[in-house]
Structure 1
Amino acid sequence: WSREAFVGEVTKNSCARYIVAEVDKKVVGYAGFWVVLDEGHITNIAVHPEYRGRGIGSRLMEGLIDLAKKNGITSMTLEVRESNLVAQNLYKKFGFKALGRREGYYQDNNEDAIVMWKYDL
């Protein structure tokens, strides 16, 4: 996302819910989803490269799922790059299942997206 799009997302989108991960009062990651009726659509999970491999992505996922439940969400979905096996494994660890594909979804390289769902939060 461009900086402008991201700022608009977190400041103006009433459907958006975001959390951050901090280490020593420094933001090292963030994650968010949109509330769509009783579903959550995960939009982003990002961890600074220097802090990857420390379980921060897992803590962000735990936080998203907890926040989703507090918002009345009963299922969650997301799209992930076909090549991003690390992210796919993280989502599988939390019970997400690959249930579809969006061909050419990512405009930067025309890569397919894997659509994943988790039901019964």
Structure 2
Amino acid sequence: MNRKISYRVMTSEDIHQVHHVEEETFQHPWTLAAFENEMINNRFATYLVAEDKERIIGYCGTWVILDDSHITNIALLDEYRGQRIGETLLRKAMKLAKMKKAKTMSLEVRVSNEKAKHLYRKLGFQKGGIRKHYYSDNHEDALVMWVNL
């Protein structure tokens, strides 16, 4: 399939489409209000979106606080997976965090999510610690991963 995917910083007008991606991706999605709060009240937050034409198909959220950055969430509609769009979103988030003077980036990932862990290792993330019972839906542990930017 020959698609032209574009990437840009999320705006408040994108909240509903991003929330749709969230709902399609996660069993326990963030609320619309959570995304509104991120966009309006969280001065540390920046979100990037991936678009196919004018349809938002994925997003990646980051917080940059002093010299540390953290991936809050990353999601992609199922039909767009396996096309390196998530990888590109994450690379762009890493580049943006570095431009904001972050020296490290961290994230949590389900210990069972082998595809995501493979991607993160590919981009230089290393294993940190384990957050026991981190996920509220099934109490699965989270693996903390980090990378120097």
Length-normalised TM-score, structure 2: 0.78
The count of corresponding residues between Structure 1 and Structure 2 is: 120
Distance 1:107 1:53 in 2: 27
2:70 — aligned with what? 41
Report the AA paired with residue 113 of structure 1: A
* Long gaps (5+) in structure 2: 1-29
Distance 2:63 2:103 in 1: 13
Distance 1:75 1:24 in 2: 33
CA RMSD of aligned residues (A): 0.9
Distance 1:44 1:118 in 2: 16
1:83-106, Cα deviation, whole Å (9 max, x unpaired): 111111111110001111000011
* Long gaps (5+) in structure 1: none
Question: Where has structure 1 moved over 6 Å in runs of 4 or more?
Answer: none
Identical-pair percentage: 49
Question: Helix, strand or coil for the counterpart of 2:82?
Answer: coil
Alignment of 1:24-39 (within 5 A): 24-39=53-68
User: Does structure 1 residue 66 correspond to structure 2 residue 62?
Assistant: no
Length-normalised TM-score, structure 1: 0.95
Shift of the alpha carbon at 1:3? 1.9
2:40 — aligned with what? 11
